[in-house]
Amino acid sequence: MDWSALILSLQLAGCTVAVLIPLGILAARPLAWRRFTGKGLIEALIALPLVLPPTVLGYYLLVALGGNSPLGEIYEKLVGRPLVFTFEGLLLASIVFNVPFGIQPIQRAFEAIRPAVREAAWCSGMSTWRTFWRVELPLAWPGLVSAAVLTFAHTLGEFGVVLMVGGNIPGETKTIAIAIYDRVQAFDTDAAGLMSGVLLGLSFLAIGSVYILANRRPAPHA
């Protein structure tokens, strides 16, 4: 059992959720409530990682983040180390491939809030900010939890993108999914089986909690 790989995976998943969910809220509100030109295109781009083979996404991320790319160059100048094959690069890639999981459930949750309910909040004297905290967030809460759990679970299980962008550096980019592959290659089926079991359990726990939450949620409108 490769504990450092599991811990790294959990760290990566936690950091991805911490960064992506606030971004998801920011992006989901206008997508849910506003109409603007190019909205369909943006929604398509958000959904794209769902259908793109991870290796394709990983390849483009590798090219975009590599030392020869403007982004990679700037990062290396500022931080002093490259973006690819590091935890930071992996986090960035993880955020990109989780975009649909982090935004779509939140967007659906905001869409389910009737416009009149927000208007009623404004007419009750609540500021936009207070309306967000007192009305929008509590009503969108299940969507936020779904987004967080799906992002977390999806990060734990991601293999292709991680391998392309992060490689297989123990303690830095070797996640549990990579470690399982690594153990199978070394004919260490006991370790691979144990880690697979742990991943299966975690994933089931995560997905199960989303569904249990969805079923317990009271009807959004009376």
Q: Please identify, using beta-carbon distances, which residue of 51 and 222 lies nearer to another protein.
A: 222
Q: Please identify, using beta-carbon distances, which residue of 40 and 218 lies nearer to another protein.
A: 218
Q: Residues 133-172: x/- map of binding to another protein (CB under 8 A)? A: -xx--xx---------------------------------
Binding to another protein in span 8-67, by CB under 8 A: none
Judged by CB under 8 A, the residue of 41, 44, 78, 219 near another protein is 219
DSSP 8-state code for residue 89:
H
- Cα separation of 91 and 18, whole Å? 11
Residue 127 is a binding residue for another protein (CB under 8 A): yes
Number of residues that bind another protein (CB under 8 A): 22
Judged by CB under 8 A, the residue of 40, 70, 80, 125 near another protein is 125
Range list of H helices, the chain: 3-33, 39-51, 54-65, 70-79, 87-97, 99-111, 115-123, 128-131, 137-157, 160-166, 176-185, 189-216
Judged by CB under 8 A, the residue of 117, 169, 191, 194 near another protein is 117
- Cα separation of 2 and 169, whole Å? 13
N-to-C CA span, the chain:
50
Tokens of 51: 């259908």
Q: In residues, how long is the chain?
A: 222
Binding to another protein in span 90-109, by CB under 8 A: none
| Only segment of 33-41, 98-106, 131-139, 168-176 that touches another protein (CB under 8 A) | 131-139
Binding to another protein in span 189-218, by CB under 8 A: 218
- Cα separation of 210 and 208, whole Å? 5
Q: Please identify, using beta-carbon distances, which residue of 119 and 190 lies nearer to another protein.
A: 119
- Cα separation of 58 and 93, whole Å? 8
Binding site for another protein (CB under 8 A): 114, 116-117, 119-127, 130, 134-135, 138-139, 218-222
